Chains A and B, each alone.
Chain A
Amino acid sequence: MKKAIEIALGADLLGLLATLPCLIDTTPITMTLFFMVGIPLFAGGFFIYVGSVIADLRRHGVV
Chain B
Amino acid sequence: MSDDPQLLSSARVKWLLLFVLGVFPALLVMATATLSFQRAETLSFCSSCHTMTPWVMDLKNSQSKAIAPMHYRNRFILHNQCYTCHVDYDFMGPVNAKVDGVRHIVAYYTGIGMHNPIKLYKPFPNNNCLQCHGASAQFQSQTHIAVMDQIKANSMGCVTCHNPIHTPQG
Residues 7-22 of chain A, each 1 if its beta carbon lies under 8 Å from chain B, else 0:
0110010011001001
Which residues of B line the A interface, CB within 8 A?
A: 14, 17-18, 20-22, 25-26, 28-29, 31-33, 35-36, 39-40, 45, 48-49, 102, 105, 108-109
Measured between beta carbons, the chain A residues less than 8 angstroms from B48 are: 27-28
> Can you offer 11 A-B residue contacts whose CB atoms are under 8 A?
A12-B21, A15-B25, A23-B28, A23-B32, A28-B45, A28-B49, A32-B105, A32-B109, A36-B105, A49-B17, A49-B22
Q: How far is the CB of B116 from chain A (nearest CB, A)?
A: 18
| Main SS class of interface, B | helix
Q: Give the residue name and chain of the B residue nearest to A60 (CB).
A: B7
Q: How far is the CA of A19 from the CA of B25 in the complex (A)?
A: 10
Given contacts A23-B32, A45-B21, A53 and B14 within 8 Å (CB-CB): yes
Q: How far is the CA of A35 from the CA of B22 in the complex (A)?
A: 17
Measured between beta carbons, the chain A residues less than 8 angstroms from B49 are: 28
Q: How far is the CB of B109 from chain A (nearest CB, A)?
A: 7
Contact A26 B105 (CB under 8 A): no
Measured between beta carbons, the chain A residues less than 8 angstroms from B33 are: 34
Measured between beta carbons, the chain B residues less than 8 angstroms from A53 are: 14
Contact B20 A12 (CB under 8 A): yes
Contact B20 A23 (CB under 8 A): no
Q: Give the residue name and chain of the A residue nearest to B10 (CB).
A: A56
Q: How far is the CA of A50 from the CA of B21 in the complex (A)?
A: 9
Q: Give the residue name and chain of the A residue nearest to B14 (CB).
A: A53
Give the residue of A23, A35, A46 whose beta carbon is less than 8 angstroms from that of B25.
A46
Measured between beta carbons, the chain A residues less than 8 angstroms from B26 are: 42
Give the residue of B22, B29, B40 whose beta carbon is less than 8 angstroms from that of A26.
B40
Given contacts A5-B17, A26-B40, A53-B14, A46 and B22 within 8 Å (CB-CB): yes
Contact A42 B32 (CB under 8 A): no
Contact B109 A34 (CB under 8 A): no
Q: How far is the CA of A8 from the CA of B32 in the complex (A)?
A: 21
